[in-house]
Amino acid sequence: MDNMQTPVLSVRDLKMYFKSGRGKNKLVVKAVDGINFDIFEGEVFGLVGESGCGKTTTGRTIIKLHDPTDGEVFFFGQRISAGTEGIKESIKEIKHNEDLSAEEKSEQIADLKTESKQRKADTMKIDTELMKKMQMIFQDPIESLNPRMTVKEIVAEGLRISGERHDKIINKKVNEVLETVGLLPEHASRYPHEFSGGQRQRIGIARALIVAPRFIIADEPISALDVSIQAQVINLLNDLRDTLGITIMFIAHDLSVIKYFSDRIGVMYYGNMVELTTSEELFKNPLHPYTRSLLSAVPLPDPRYEKNRKRIAYNPSQHDYSEEAPEFVEIKPGHFILCNSKELAQYKKELK
């Protein structure tokens, strides 16, 4: 994913598996199964897909609410999180590789163990100053706000954790950020239940902004809001991007919103990134069958169009990966798609 800019965030082969049960009853859910993407400074990167495809888990893993099973996350060039399951599997393969000598096995295993220790150290390390630059806006404004805390206490919590102890400075910054998100300083003394859904989401945005982040993960921040309020929150995030230069990863399942808000869009299906390109290119040249299925479900405010609109059903069994596994390849500059060589040839014929 070449770009002249240095990425704000780089995700490499990220996997997040959840395990439950023991022995024969052990269940492994592959919420995120090896995805790759970069997010560059000042852009809005949209992440879309149906419910349960792994979008939220991706965001939570990036911000270190989950420790990844495998893969790496780099933030401003520094590795902030990494998993070690892949290294463990590689060590097992080396041990059973009869083509290697005992000395070669020992050297390779030693190198992998060193890498594993370093990954664990990076994951356990908490660089407070670096992680302040990354904040998250949660999906449900009711569940994400403590009902026993006032707005001032909620918004100022990040400042206090960062070490700020002067009440005058805290009050000033809280009032400033409340005004930035369209609330009033007098709202600081109230509790979350005294506000509407849109106002509560503004409080959540204020809480994220108080520590002056450079990168925000917005996890479906408008899905729990009325349509009229959704537009207000989207416009607010757009203004913050323009005035503060904040980079945003916008997670949603509504492509009609993503289209007008995102610079680039990544499409996820069952833990995999199946397509990634610019917003304009995705709507002009949707190549993956799942992307086409999603786009066919986007309604338009045109009754004549809606009367004749046909949904495209996606059937994953149409992909035959029994002989060749798919790879995430660049089919044209900036346009990536998950496919094998046979599918790649077909997609190239379909390009406009």
pTM: 0.90
The residues facing 40 across adjacent strands are 7
**What pLDDT, on a 0 to 100 scale, did the predictor assign at position 352?**
67
In angstroms, the Cα distances linking 283 to 53, 261, 265, 294, 307 are 20, 13, 10, 11, 21
Nearest CA to 255 out of 247, 246, 267 is that of: 267
The label of the residue with tokens 């370093």 reads 118
95 contacts 101 by C-beta, under 8 angstroms: no
Torsion angle, alpha carbons of 239, 240, 243, 249, to 10: -110
User: Token digits for 161?
Assistant: 């954790």
What pLDDT score was predicted for residue 37? 97
- Distance of alpha carbon 219 from alpha carbon 75, whole angstroms: 18
Q: Identify the pLDDT of residue 215.
A: 96
Determine the pLDDT at residue 347: 93
Q: What is the pLDDT of residue 308?
A: 83
Task: Report how far residue 96's alpha carbon sits from residue 165's, in angstroms, rounded to the nearest whole number.
Answer: 57
What CA–CA distance (Å, rounded) separates 144 from 205? 11
Distances (CA, A) of 28 to 13, 67, 253: 18, 16, 25
| CA-wise closest residue to 240 among 263, 212, 203, 279 | 212
| Whole-number Å distance between alpha carbons of 332 and 156 | 46
Residue 281 three-state SS: helix
Q: Which residues of the chain have pLDDT under 50?
A: 1-4
pLDDT for position 258: 86
CA gap 33, 14 in Å, rounded:
7
d(CA 45, CA 107): 41
Long-range contacts of 262-266 (CB under 8 A, 24+ apart): 262/44, 262/45, 262/46, 263/43, 263/44, 263/45, 264/43, 264/45, 264/46, 264/334, 265/45, 265/46, 265/47, 265/48, 266/35, 266/37, 266/45, 266/46, 266/47, 266/48
Q: What is the pLDDT of residue 335?
A: 96
Would you say 42 and 241 are in contact if contact means Cβ atoms under 8 Å apart? yes
